[in-house]
Amino acid sequence: MRETRWVALLLLLAISAAGAAGRKEKDGEKVCDKGWECSGSRFCCNETISDYFKADQFEELFANRNDAQLAHAADFWDYQSFISAAALFEPRGFGTTGGKEMGMKEVAAFLGHVGAKTSCGYSEAPGGETAWGLCYNHEMSPSQSYCDDSNELYPCVAGVEYYGRGALPVYGNHNYAIVGRGINQDLLHHPESLEQNATLAFEAAIWRWMTPMKRKQPSAHDVFVGNWKPTKNDTLSQRYPGFGATMNVLYGDLICGQGYIDDMNVIISHYQHYLDLMGVGREHSGDNLDCAEQVAFNPSSKSPESLSKLHCGDQQWTETQTRETGLEEGMELASVPYLASSSSSSFSSGYSRFACRCRRASKTVVATSATGRSGATDSACSETFEQQNLDVHSGPKSSWCFRRRDLASAILLPFVLPPINISRAAEPYDGLIIQNGVRKFLTKGKAAGVLRLVFHDAGTFDIGDKSGGMNGSIIYEVNRPENAGLNRSIKLLGKAKEEIDSVQKVSWADLIAVAGAEAVALCGGPEIPVRLGRLDSSTADPAGKLPEETLDAAALKTSFSKKGFSTQEMVVLSGAHTIGGKGFGSPIIFDNTYFKVLLEKPQPSSSGMAGMVGLRTDWALAEDDECLSWIKIYAEDQAKFFDDFRDTYIKLVNSGASWRTA
């Protein structure tokens, strides 16, 4: 009997010692052996994410993120950035709730959303569509700057664009401001931080995962780990804890309540794929995996009756909720668009906006949309609904209310189909479909011809009478002498257009602009964001608008100035001759060799060509002092050439364009 007592005592001491190894005392308070203070956290001595999720697992989940051919954020995302960001939220339970298996499942769930939103994979891609997460870190080909000028709380900063960036993309000046305050960063002034710093990008995404969208609603974290108990209204709306509800929190009825749509299924597929790779197994995905029949927490449309019942004062936050979420009183989350990517441009998206403002009960609500329409309704603000956008309300109760309806009607298609995630305007216009259609037919050998097509379509612009420009009229002008050979490029893009049009209609002007950007990037040049929404001309542009190949530098300057381009812009655009058969280095490599060769000044041949390299206009640039100064700069600094070419290309493909209004 005595021996039994001694054995029990020894076991107790052993258990106590083991516990002490994981916990220490500091001023009477427990701390983890890694120094994680326990104050205010019941998770302090649980296993942290780095204990069970290792670098090799991260590499396996995102094995293709640095692919030289397809990845547009190569060498950006890494394991340590994720771990550093996650560590900030572990005291709140991120990855530390409910034991090791639940922690691993939550990491897989969160990364499943991230992988789906940043994927450049598609069903026929090597490894399938789930093998290409973290391919992007910003929206490709943004269709607008996402500046909401009506937002008086967080007005746009001059010169700053608020297109989608990050792991769970953030859109719009209002959202950048609120997410920035949540992670103590000035994202309103510096939204680019989310595509320059991977740790901040992950931190912003985890903050959104951990933060409820509205008062008395759960966060994605809460519905996944079981912190949330559905109300009767929730059960009647088919909302139950599980992975499906995370999609409801983050995307609302953009994904949920629409049956088993591909947009939803692809997110689930990423989650289950990651569970398999992490050794948990998809059989442990949990109950309520989808949200096919769930009613959205925050529906994107409301009846007039329900709208009239939602008043400004209904959305005040309590002090407790403010502390728990990290939001100030009055802050609420709405949903944001999705990162949309391209093969080599930038995430292409548009969004329709519906703003609701009301000052005190006596004021009317003014609604504005992307089409410029406005109207007045009762003095009530509609509920926020898009899950990744944030609305802030400050001041006394009922004194100020500002909300956005349909703020970026984002569709998951971008990251559901091939490489991107794109938001849509009043009419869906998916840049991903255009870019993938181009990539199917474009090769490096055909890149120069496609890029020439851009110059000959946009190059007819005349700033004086506003004629010509990027309007697709080149398809009516192929028989002109200056356009000899372009019929091959038009036929190539015609094949792409036929396939794209079977899914959504695309204008020739948009198609050519995107194809040119794709051609540059395919050959190793800069990624160029292309705004979408150009309208096509139904007639040919006036003849004789393109610069002739026999012009000297002075005449070239005059010609380009009539199109609104400076000498520097003329020189940088001429650098496009670095690809193709003009003899400036490799015909399929876009670099600054063009300028280096011009500085060598080879002797002209008897035909007037400089050593059979380039055109007469190319060498005319080297004979002009002003042009020569820019040639020297670009010959020495390829990065500057890439930056300036990108900016000037954007200006070129927007020259003379007419735009869709909806």
Active site residues: 456
Report whether 590 contacts 520 (CB < 8 A): yes
Q: For CA atoms 288, 293, 294, 300, give the dihedral sign.
A: positive
Q: Are strands 374-377 and 389-392 parallel, antiparallel or unpaired?
A: unpaired
Note the helical H segments in 358-459: 413-416, 431-441, 444-458
Nearby residues of 212 by Cβ (< 8 Å), 6 or more positions away: 218, 219, 222, 249, 321, 325, 333
The structure tokens listed for 644 are 């300036």
The structure tokens listed for 133 are 């997460």
Nearby residues of 325 by Cβ (< 8 Å), 6 or more positions away: 211, 212, 219, 317, 331
Q: CA 88 to CA 109: how far, in whole Å? A: 18
The structure tokens listed for 6 are 């001694």
Q: Are strands 401-405 and 389-392 parallel, antiparallel or unpaired?
A: unpaired
Q: For CA atoms 405, 408, 414, 420, give the dihedral sign.
A: negative
Q: CA 595 to CA 641: how far, in whole Å? A: 10
Q: How many CB atoms lie within 10 A of CB 312?
A: 26
The structure tokens listed for 141 are 């080909």
Closest CA to 142 of 650, 446, 529: 529
Buried b (16+ CB within 10 A) or exposed e, 273-309: bbbebbebeeeebbebbbbbebbbbbbbebeeeebee
Closest CA to 282 of 416, 130, 178, 475: 130
The residue assigned the tokens 């664009």 is 161
Closest CA to 306 of 212, 377, 236, 232: 377
